[in-house]
């Protein structure tokens, strides 16, 4: 099978987690940059990456990387790329997205238009036709300019990979499934440890944690655009990946994963989403304010996405809310707390400086992942709790 370069974009600040995931799948990482990880893989790797990676938004098949400071240069260098290696005569192709940072070419619509024309010119010459029916498989092209260098790839995923298919009901300001997974992976939490999200909203943190605990592939219950690229990726690749994913699922495990929220509608949505994901048996949801957060056992984890105060009228409530978080956390025996927020006075109101603080971009919003570290539990059998 051919070896391709695949590029997986991710939230800024979570690249190390995605790199580890790719290595764990058995593929070689060739480059790690801000917001993306590039790796080598064959056709099976395209299926594996889409089905099993928890922290990437999509998987791009890299066609090339070109430096272009003028539209003429962009046209010629795009035309020189081997598009016929990927797009068949009847393929439907378009430049679905273009973005540009610190580059002379910055108009997305102009970049899209010029590149489409260049690809058409290339394929007209290769296939000896002047008109393309575009009634076959879809090949959406994405281009990202950084300092005049464009990374050009074809999207193999289609709908963004954060859409696992289980979140039918949402509440305001939900965290994406990919970011929730990355934040969980930045903690030492394992399936045999306690996990509580006291601001669970529609249940993303508990559901993603339960899927990890059950070894349930995030893409198991959805489809991907490249499944129609049978000239590049045989059907067996997808069948093999799905068969492995199904065999790995283990719901016969004991977990202590809990989600609380003060909003009854949020709890209803969380329960419905957990059921849709197939992990409702592994999670306990309850309507409860953060002030009533308590647990009898030590060495648990809080992982949560509390309100940031995005609306001006909510900002006045934040100091009291974060003081409640601090008080509840203080009452838990040897627990760790991981909290993502854009509220810059969080540590002050919680009443403790975080042991670690990681800057992460949630979309375009700069947030802080505050990490309050509890002690490690003793090795089993060494000390009685």
Contact between 186 and 180 (Cβ < 8 Å): no
d(CA 96, CA 363): 19
Q: What is the pLDDT of residues 200-257, one digit of tens each?
A: 999 999 999 999 999 999 999 999 999 999 999 999 999 999 999 999 999 999 999 9
CA angle 350, 354, 358 (to 5 degrees): 120
CATH superfamily of 177-216+225-372: Vaccinia Virus protein VP39 (3.40.50.150)
Enter the CATH code of domain 4-155.
3.30.2130.30
pLDDT value of residue 2: 85
State the pTM of this model.
Answer: 0.94
Task: Please name the helix (run of DSSP H) or strand (run of DSSP E) that holds residue 143, with its range, or none.
Answer: strand 138-146
Among the residue ranges 29-38, 161-170, 263-272, 273-282, the one predicted with the least confidence is: 161-170
* In the chain, where the domains are located: 4-155, 177-216+225-372
Q: Is 147 left (phi over 0), alpha (psi -120 to 50) or beta?
A: left
3-state SS assignment for residue 256: coil
Distances (CA, A) of 294 to 287, 301, 308, 332: 14, 12, 23, 6
d(CA 27, CA 356): 30
d(CA 212, CA 190): 9
3-state SS string for 293-338: CCCCCCCCEEEECCCCCCCHHHHCCHHHHHHHHHHHHHCCCCCEEE
Residues 6+ away with beta carbon under 8 Å from 209: 184, 189, 195, 257, 303
CA angle 173, 177, 181 (to 5 degrees): 120
Contact between 43 and 234 (Cβ < 8 Å): yes
Contact between 29 and 22 (Cβ < 8 Å): yes
Contact between 332 and 300 (Cβ < 8 Å): yes
Considering the chain, what is the average pLDDT of its residues?
95
pLDDT value of residue 195: 98
221 φ, ψ to 5°? Answer: -110, 30
Task: Please name the helix (run of DSSP H) or strand (run of DSSP E) that holds residue 346, with its range, or none.
Answer: helix 346-350
Q: What is the pLDDT of residues 275-319, one digit of tens each?
A: 999 999 999 999 999 999 999 999 999 999 999 866 655 778 899
Report residue 219 CA to chain centroid gap.
Answer: 12
Contact between 49 and 10 (Cβ < 8 Å): no
**384 band by pLDDT with thresholds 50, 70 and 90:** very low
């Amino acid at each position: 099978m051919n070896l391709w370069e695949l590029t997986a974009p991710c939230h800024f600040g979570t690249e190390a987690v995605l790199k580890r995931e790719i290595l764990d799948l058995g593929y070689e990482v060739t480059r790690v940059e801000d917001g993306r990880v590039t790796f080598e893989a064959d056709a099976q790797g395209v299926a594996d990456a889409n089905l099993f990676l928890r922290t990437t938004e999509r998987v791009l098949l890299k066609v090339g990387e070109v430096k272009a400071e003028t539209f003429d240069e962009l046209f010629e260098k795009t035309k020189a790329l081997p598009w016929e290696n990927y797009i068949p005569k009847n393929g439907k192709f378009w430049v679905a997205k273009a973005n540009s940072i610190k580059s002379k070419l910055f108009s997305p619509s102009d970049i899209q238009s010029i590149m489409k024309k260049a690809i058409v010119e290339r394929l007209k010459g290769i296939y000896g036709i002047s008109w393309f029916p575009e009634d076959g498989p879809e090949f959406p092209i994405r281009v990202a300019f950084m300092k005049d260098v464009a990374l050009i790839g074809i999207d193999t995923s289609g709908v963004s990979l954060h859409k696992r298919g289980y979140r039918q009901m949402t509440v305001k300001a939900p965290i994406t499934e990919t970011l929730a997974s990355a934040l969980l992976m930045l903690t030492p939490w394992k399936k045999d440890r306690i996990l509580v999200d006291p601001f669970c909203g529609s249940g993303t943190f508990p559901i993603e944690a339960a899927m990890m605990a059950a070894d349930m592939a995030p893409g198991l219950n959805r489809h991907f655009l490249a499944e129609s690229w049978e000239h590049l990726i045989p059907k067996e690749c997808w069948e093999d990946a799905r068969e492995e994913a199904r065999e790995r699922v283990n719901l016969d495990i004991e977990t202590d994963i809990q989600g609380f929220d003060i909003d009854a509608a949020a709890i209803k949505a969380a329960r419905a989403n957990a059921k849709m994901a197939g992990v409702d048996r592994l999670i306990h949801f309850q309507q409860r304010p953060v002030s009533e957060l308590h647990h009898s056992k030590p060495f648990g984890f809080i992982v949560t996405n509390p309100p940031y105060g995005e609306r001006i009228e909510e900002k006045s409530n934040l100091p009291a809310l974060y003081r409640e978080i601090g008080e509840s956390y203080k009452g838990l025996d040897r627990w760790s707390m991981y909290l993502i927020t854009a509220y810059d006075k969080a540590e002050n109101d919680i009443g403790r400086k975080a042991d670690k603080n990681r800057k992460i971009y949630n979309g375009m919003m700069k947030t802080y992942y505050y990490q309050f570290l509890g002690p490690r539990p003793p090795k089993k059998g060494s000390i009685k709790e």
